[in-house]
Amino acid sequence: MIGADEPANYSVRVTERANRDIDAIYVYFAEEFGEAMANKWRGGIIKAITGLSFMPERYALVPKRHFRMAVRHYTWRRSGSSLTHRILYVAEMDGQDGPAVRVIHIRGASRAPITAEDAREIEAQQ
Q: For the segment 10-65, what is each residue's pLDDT rounded down to a tens digit?
A: 999 999 999 999 999 999 999 999 999 999 999 999 999 999 999 999 999 988 77
> Residue 2 has what pLDDT?
47
pLDDT in tens, 73-125: 999 987 777 788 999 999 988 767 789 999 999 998 888 888 888 888 888 87
Q: What is the DSSP letter of 89?
A: E
Residue 89 to residue 83: CA distance in whole angstroms: 20
Residue 57 CA from chain centroid, whole number: 13
Residue 34 to residue 42: CA distance in whole angstroms: 13
Q: What is the pTM of this model?
A: 0.86
